[in-house]
Chain A
């Protein structure tokens, strides 16, 4: 179907996988100059798959995620996303920068999506309590964001997306600002939730280790204009435990291969 303007297409008839990205391109005009953020991106993501995208900063990772989240329209190509359960939201994004609402208590922040959908209060309470506990925010329900540390705020925005219960989680370097311990805990928690709920996850990170710990597949992006350059299958058995995995020799080898590739992009040689 020819579209007048390229756009994200939410399809109820099934495309090949959960997400199909075809010849996607995006450029911004900054005054006179045109910045091409993405060019020729092609990707199929299966339902229930966990993929990680790594790439040098400024290569368009956030832009790609914002297109998947329907916050930005592509300038070329198309994206098809199939909807499997009309009762729940299609996707929730966890933003790279702090996005927790300063004017709501942590509880109301985490409950945001459910409240918008008029979910019964008892169910909201149950879900919100559950995810606040997982995110280590017990006892901060009635605090306001300015009373929390940066890491706690980021955990609150993770809890906000999880409790919204979407089919697809779009995560933009969500754990980058966290300390090692909290990061490992949340990674394991994310894996547990993912395995229980069969959500599709598109996860952006600048940490190769993180990508290997979490995903089924790591996609490496080139420098600007960003495009997908290579992909690595990650088939460590699940359930995975973060520190067991890091002790595995193939983990180090795979990490090194990805790093060699990324290094070319970062240094430009």
Chain B
């Protein structure tokens, strides 16, 4: 606490601890982050009950929750989640590993970069999902085509992030490696990959976001399970509460993926100060 007057400034410890529990709760981050969604949901509920909002498109939150509980009880929702998660994870591995390898290779070799990057950059603007029909022609309508399309989406994110990460590594570290006579492989392992890791994680974060978008669309085709399938199916039979449950689950999955990634990042990049980007 700083008290300043004409002849002196007094700086003392903050005395916030004496604040009332209620005022502390109102000011806490947790409260702030759940307060506004709750207010919106309450308002929504009231509007539906007052017939000011069309319940055919915007069902009352309470009825969606009832539906969610029913689906949890029947266990169906967990089967859908498991399928979607497995498709996302397999596809992510399929895309992230080559993305990482190409990113590091091109990042450290201007010559390879000159030849390969234009080709990859030319493909990048194609909306990945627009390739899905082609992917299904090649790999069939089963799970393989879903893994592949998720993989393609993740590949580009991880590739470009890794490339940027490696290119951005301070040149002095490469000079040290070269002065210590590090081999090419040792330079990848000890400089390029760890130096680019923060960027690689950004790529994974963007990639997982893309993966979720792509998988939800792809699950409209050639499958009877998955959260995406559930959303499309509820559209066809006009079961709008199921659709909302699907949306909630997808949002929740996205949130969990990001949380997991953040944990992983903290474990793998211990040299980054907490809170940094």
Contact = CB atoms under 8 A, between A and B. Distances in A.
Q: Find the residue from B172, B195, B270 having the highest chain A CB count within 10 A.
A: B172
A250 interface: no
Looking at B176, B182, B190, B273, the one whose CB has the most chain A CB atoms below 10 A away is B176
Interface residues of A, number: 23
Interface in A63-102: 66, 69-71, 89, 91-93, 95, 97-99, 101-102
B271 A95 contact: no
A103 B271 contact: yes
Contacts of A92: 179-180
Given A95-B172, A145-B271, A103 B195 contact: yes
Given A112-B190, A145-B271, A164 B178 contact: no
Contacts of B270: 144
Interface in B90-121: none
B194 interface: yes
B197 A71 contact: no
**Chain B interface helix/strand/loop/mixed:** helix
B186 A101 contact: no
A101 B173 contact: yes
Interface in A88-122: 89, 91-93, 95, 97-99, 101-104, 112-113, 116
Interface-central residue, A97, A112, A145, by most chain B CB under 10 Å: A112
Nearest to A143: B271
A103 B195 CA distance: 7
Interface in B155-201: 172-173, 175-176, 178-183, 186, 190-191, 194-195, 197
B194 A116 contact: no
A69 B172 CA distance: 13
B33 to A, nearest CB: 29
Contact of B181 (A66, A104, A116): A116
Interface in A132-184: 144-146, 164
28 contacts: A66-B175, A70-B178, A71-B178, A91-B179, A92-B180, A93-B175, A93-B176, A95-B175, A95-B176, A99-B172, A101-B173, A101-B176, A101-B191, A102-B271, A103-B194, A103-B195, A103-B197, A104-B190, A104-B271, A112-B176, A112-B190, A113-B180, A116-B180, A116-B181, A116-B183, A144-B270, A146-B271, A146-B273
Interface of B: 172-173, 175-176, 178-183, 186, 190-191, 194-195, 197, 269-271, 273
Given A113-B180, A116-B186, 13 more contacts: A69-B179, A89-B180, A91-B179, A93-B179, A97-B172, A99-B172, A103-B197, A103-B269, A103-B271, A104-B194, A116-B182, A116-B183, A144-B270
